[in-house]
Structure formats: C-alpha cells, structure tokens
Structure 1
C-alpha cells in the first residue's frame, strides 16, 4: 500500500475525527451496496493510489466502460467472479468530522447469519432499494433484522435513480411504502435518500439531477447523525477482563471496557456476583489517569479495598445493578452448518467477559423474518433461522435486556467439542417479553 491518497485528496488540516460511526449495509442482491461503499470511499478520498489502480485495471480487463467501484469492497476473487458478495467485507475511512467502519453484508436469505453478525454492533443501517424494483422481500427482511438488533438509525437508500430518470414520484412511492411497513418495526430514526451510487448523485455531494430533494447527501447525514445519546450512560457496567498486578510494585487494577454508564474516582461500587463493595480509587487510561470512564472506553479501575475480583466479574453501582440469573430468555440466530439447535443441548455461553455452560430449555417459536410469523410448532432451528428460546446457565449471569444495553444483552453460544460459534443471541427482559 502506498502512502499517497488519490490525486484529489484533501490537504491534512491536522484535525482528528471526533468519534466513530459503525455502519451496516444491506439490501437485495444487485441493489448496489458494494458500488455505494466504493463511491463513498472514492469520492471522500478514502482510497490509496495502488487500490484505485488495481480497480481500474480489473475494470478494463472485464470490459467495463467506467471504473467498477464495487471492486473496492467485494473482497475475494472467487466472489468477484460470481458477481456477488458472500462474506462480510469491512472497510474503514474517515473525514474531518468522523471515522467510519462499514460492514458490507450479503443480500441472500441463506446469508442471514452474516448480516446478523455484521450488524450486531452497528450504530446505523443502510438498506438499499433498487428504484426500478421498489421494496422487495429481502429489503423488508433486512429492515426487520435491523429492528430486531435494535440498530437506532436506518437510512433507506433508494439507489439507481438515474435508471428511472430521477423521477420524484418513484422515490416518494418507495418512501411511502417503506413508511407504512416500518410502523411495525422498532426503529426510532429513519431517513430516506434518493441516489445513484454509480454516478455519485447524493452520495457525497448534493445532486443537481434531483432539485426536488431537499435533504442532505448521504455522507453529510452520516457525518452529522447524533449517536451519543444512543449509548446507555445511566447504568454503570464494567465487566472485568483482566487483573493487572505487576510484580515490581503494589499496583492492582482491573482492566476492561466500559459497556454502560459512567464511573469516576470516589464512586461507590459493588462487584458481582460476590456482592463485595468498595470505592473507586482511580481510573487509568492508555495515556495515564482519567477523571471519568464511560462507554466504550478501555480503562483500568483501581479500588480502595483489596477484593477478590477476577475475569468475568462485573463492577457497577450498588443501587443500579444488572439482572442476575440462571434462567434466561433470548432470541437467537443459528449460525452452524454442522447441526441444528434442539432443546436439551448444552453449549458454552459467552457473555461480556464471562463464559458459563448453558443448556437449551425450550424453543418457544421460530420467527419468519420475512413475515414476522411465529411458528410455535417448530422443533429445531436450522442454519440462518431465528427463534426464541429459554436457557439454563450453570452459574448466574449478570445482564441487562438487549433493548436497554446491547453490550450486556448480547451473547454467543459455542460448541465445546469443536470450539465453533453456533449461535448469536440477545437477552430479553423476562418470560413475558416478546
């Protein structure tokens, strides 16, 4: 990789992006996800000279009249030759306002698990729709999954507007159809952008071809969407990842990542599951002591008392504790190709920094992500299927409902015989939660 950006790269102003936005893209096959991401990278000067040269060379060899920007994200050669995206391709770029991580997830129904894993940490989902085809089953499925995963922001990108002569009525028809469908979803913020990823209309700059559109370009929206309030800054949660005890001094700190709330020196805290209490003596970051820690900061917390604290324990406030229990209710997506999920099977359950053994209790229903129908007669979950289950853990798990805190409400199941991850799940409030 060279050290030089493409010729039109903007000069370095010395300013650093203030935060990071995690984006998941989804949509039907050939809606232009990879081209859109390529356009974002290209127009925002987020690619290097050698990358651009390779893409231009490949485009010429394939006989394309113009540079195929989708090649910037369709990662594997075999996938490119098939003309489809199979795996989740991650791309990184930055503007003076913000850093971005984009997960380009596949559109096929048989790769539902890829979208679930790619979108599990996303702040925003971009669902693409082909302006010529309108809303399809896959578009609705991906929007439903975004809602299930509690992604707070969604952008419906009505792509290929150039192929419908930039017709305002086409865009508004798709917008109205999706608005009616979204009434059944749990997404607080939905934005609609008409665009042409191929030509760059409304991707990085406003398009002169659609003067009737009064909104911002996609990149401007991504730069300015407010995500700070999406984080849980109320419930202080610090899962301990590692105990720091250097041999040459008496330092004792507990390293980990804040997954919710705020902690400051002097705060009263409790360590779970033991229930032992203490007070925060100090908080150390990568560059030295800090005055406060909040999600998603990685820090080391020192306590005033020497307590028996180890990996998997959780530090929180005495009067604001997570749920603690062994009987769990969850929605899971089955990821394994080697077998299906059946009641009675036992797996390792990894939740935050804690791993326990858990037994599948009951399969309440299998969820049809296309229609929302609940099949209560299902006996198992196959690859890519989603369902509601109960679990019995061997030791208590400290958790919050996923809708309240995605970090302390998510988990994975691991097959102990193969060490393969077989399911990803979200924890629900209680037995009565949907």
Structure 2
C-alpha cells in the first residue's frame, strides 16, 4: 500500500509526456536521432532478463557508437585525406569536403566526451520544476517559439540531406565511372565490377556523416535557443510584476531571482557543451567556404549541372552552419541584456522603499549580459559570423591571385 502511494506521488511530481514535449519540443526527436547515429548516450533497458542478455545489451549500448563510426566516419575520412595527399593536383576537389569531415569528427568526439553532461543538461530542461511554465499564456508563447525552431531544424537538416541526394544523384547521370567525393581505394574501381562497391561504401559513409553532422549542429543550436528562451521568459515575468500588488510582486520577484540564478548556471553548462565545437566550426569554416567558392568559380555549369548545384547547396548549408549558432548565442546576450529594461518597466517606482531597494540591487546584478565564448578565444555572436565571412572572402581573393 505504501509502495502504491509513493508511485502515485512520483507520477504527480513527474511532468506528463505532453508537458515534456511542450518544454523541449523537437529536441526530443533530435535526441532519438542522435541515439541512432551513435552521438547520444543509450541507457540500458531494465527488463526481467537473464544476466547474460543484460550484459550483452549493456556492452552494445556502451560500444554501439564505436562499432558504427570507426568503420565508416573515421575510416572514410582517413581515405579522403590519403587521396588528397597522394593526388595533390586534385586537392581542390577533395580538401573542402575533407576539412568538413574533420570538423564533423571533432564534433562527434566532443559529443562522446560530454555525453553525460549533455544528458543531464537536457534532463533538467525537461523535468525541473523550477523551469516549469506557469500559465496558459506562457505555454502558448513557448509552443510558438518551439514550433519556429522546429521549422528551422527541418529546413537545415533537409538542406543537408538535399546536398547528399543531389551529389549522389548527379554522379549517376555522368558518363563513365566517377564518385561524388574522391577518396583512396586499395583496388581499381573504374570498372563495372568494382564501381558499385566504391559507390555503395561512400553512400553509406557520407550519409551517416552528413545526417549526424547536421543533427548534432541543431542539437548545439537547441542548447543556445532554450537558454535564450529562458531569459526571455524571465523578462516576461518581470514585466508582469506591474499588474500585481506589492506583496505578490515581492514574492514573484524572489522566485524570478531564484530562476535567474538557475538559468545563469545553465548558461555556464551550455557554454561548456558548445564552446569547443563552435570554435572548431568557425575556424574550419573559413577554409571550407574559401575552397568551396574557389571550386564553384572553376566549375562549368554546362558540363555537370548536378555537381554545380550540389556545391551551391553545400556552400549554403555551410553558411547556415556558421550563422545559426552565432544567431542563437546572440539571442542569449540580447535577452539577458534586456532584463534590466524589463525591471525598469515594471512600475518599480510605485513600490515601497524596501521593495525598490531589492529591485535596484537586482538590476545592479544584471549590468553585465550573459555571453557565450568559443574556447575562451572570442564571443559568439553575429559580429563573429560577419568576420568569418569577411575572412573567407579575403582568403578566396588571395587564392585567386595566387592561381593567376
């Protein structure tokens, strides 16, 4: 009887499935995708099984990521670099995608390294009572924002899949035997017998790396998006203080300060999760964009329109890959910086001196907006995106002058 009572209490305390979906939106789908792609921790299932079966499941859950990525992602990228170094005359055809694969491997290793931190971070966002939405107006606003991020995720992941489909589909329309992306093989594949082995392996390996890359990118963006949304939620609650009596306003303000303290801690955790991947992406993207643009200007659209459009799609998706984390990190800075204005606009001058003193102290603590750093080297935001594009253009101009 006591056990049933405890279970009922736990069910009441645990958010329902609808509330969980409302809190993290499309991130739940992204986490399931990342589990399949070997980039998110797989928790062993606890069923009534024998010890041998449980041990096998635990071993598979622990090593699934390595069994999936070692023969495909890491081996495939190694073969691409072997091809680039042994056939330097075709380096411009290979280097841009090889460097992209290096960024993807760095992203994968970072997800593996911080998998438990990422899991606990998302678990808190989903289940913490301190982050729960209070009323129907907040829920409607939150759902609208989550839907907007879902549309961005669908467009971005769809764009990455579109590059894959265009590149591999266009290759089949070309006369002769060619691959979408060159890589070294220990056998001769320019014949009908071996070509499909080379094509099939690259199709599987590139599909895994492409879909895993864009999905991990969107997961990083979601961390930033959710934290920025929490700062916006704090601002909404601060603005609502003007409609409350002073006694209720003080009580709500204390709750807001506690929430703000928790969100600041989540911001620090978010920075740990995204700092190194964003740093690697921004540094490598300068070279990848430069090499992609260099190859685009040297390609003849009439010779192979499919490959030309695949390159154009690739450059567009890569630009989004840099822009999206910069945009969402910039939103954290903007929303946290706006909190001082929200406090000022809450009719604080109509409250008693002790309450005004409390609000003034809170405003003093918010003078410095929260900012996300990339590896403690620079702040992530829209200015970084602009500078990255300018650096890529400058490097392209230098490369074109050298080629002439």
Highest RCO, 1 vs 2 (Cα 8 Å, sep ≥ 6): 2
TM-score (norm 1): 0.22
* TM-score normalized with structure 2 length: 0.23
Mark the structure with the bigger radius of gyration. Answer: 2
The structure whose residues are more often helix, as a share, is: 2
* Structure with more of its chain in strand, by fraction: 1
